[in-house]
Amino acid sequence: MDLGAIPFTVTTWKNVPTVEHKGETGTSHWRVHEAGPIRIRMVEYSPGFRSDHWCAKGHIFFVVDGEFDIRLKDGRRFTLGPGMSFEAGDDAANPHLGESPRGATVFIVD
């Protein structure tokens, strides 16, 4: 990740408009800030959210509040709570799928 092209910016997340994205079940509400080639998001997942696809894109994914489950194609599953994160590079051979049975707020950089 090359952060060299990003100017210094302060983001007030509550002022960034939300965009709704439906999952296979539930919804997510994204607040997105684009910084050069980097996308930075604050995402609120509804209780019962389940992603509608396996994702092979790399992320830095930090749980601010709630609980979020990450499932890998090889069968491994990780439950992340507040203060936990996962980091993954772009990897088409090892995609991940996300679920949030109780809802969560997460901070994502990709």
Interval 50-88: pLDDT, tens: 999 999 999 999 999 999 999 998 899 999 999 999 999
pTM exceeds 0.75 for this model: yes
User: Considering the domain boundaries, does residue 48 fall inside one?
Assistant: yes
Q: Quickly state the pLDDT bin for 32 (edges 50, 70, 90).
A: very high
Domain count, the chain: 1
User: Considering the domain boundaries, does residue 78 fall inside one?
Assistant: no
User: Considering the domain boundaries, does residue 27 fall inside one?
Assistant: yes
User: Considering the domain boundaries, does residue 67 fall inside one?
Assistant: no
Q: Which residues pair with 98 in a beta bridge?
A: 70
User: Considering the domain boundaries, does residue 40 fall inside one?
Assistant: yes
For residue 32, the enclosing domain spans: 18-58
User: Considering the domain boundaries, does residue 4 fall inside one?
Assistant: no
Percentage of the chain modeled with pLDDT above 70:
98
Determine contact, residues 23/44, Cβ cutoff 8 Å. Answer: no
- Position 2 scores a pLDDT of 67
Q: Tell me the one-letter amino acid at 74.
A: D
Summarize the confidence of residues 84-95 as an average pLDDT.
89
User: Considering the domain boundaries, does residue 85 fall inside one?
Assistant: no
User: Considering the domain boundaries, does residue 104 fall inside one?
Assistant: no
